[in-house]
Amino acid sequence: MASPHTASGPAHGLWPWLAVDVAALILFAVSGRSTHEHGLSAAGIAATAAPFVVACVAGWVVLRAWRTPLRLWPTGVGIWITTVAGGLLLRFLTGGGVALSFQVVTLAVLGLLLLLPRVLAAAALRGRRRALSGRGNQAVR
């Protein structure tokens, strides 16, 4: 059985977990645009999410996250910090707002959105392993 610390098996590879991260970033963009009444056009959402998606993908490459996509440390935390720092930098360089309040909210919300799925998936895998190992240890009556 694959552990949450390895990249073996289809559920642990690059594409499913990169897709989860990108979906989280799109949710972040939709939420922010909705909260601030900027409209929910596809182009607007893409423009808001793009700096963070680029930074997230860069984090995946630098950290080689496909090897251990569920590992909270260093993979998840590394992707989170890279996404926040790189996304804010790219947003600044492209003329987007980076007020301190936005930075704090970005750090907190992306921490939740990028780390919580890893925590939940790792917990589910641990529970599944316990259930499977419990079946193998039952005495024959």
Per-residue pLDDT of the chain in tens (141 residues, 90 and over written 9): 344 444 444 445 678 999 999 999 999 999 999 998 788 999 999 999 999 999 999 999 999 999 999 999 999 999 999 999 999 999 999 999 999 999 999 999 999 999 999 999 999 988 888 888 876 555 554
Count CA within 13 A, CB hemisphere, residue 39: 6
- Dihedral of alpha carbons 58, 42, 28, 100, sign: positive
> What are the φ/ψ torsions at residue 4 (nearest 5 degrees)?
-70, -5
pLDDT of residue 13: 65
Cβ density class 98-115: b for 16+ within 10 Å, e for less: beeeeeeebeebbbebbb
pLDDT of residue 138: 56
| Angstrom distance (rounded) from CA 2 to CA 68 | 11
pLDDT of residue 6: 44
pLDDT of residue 39: 85
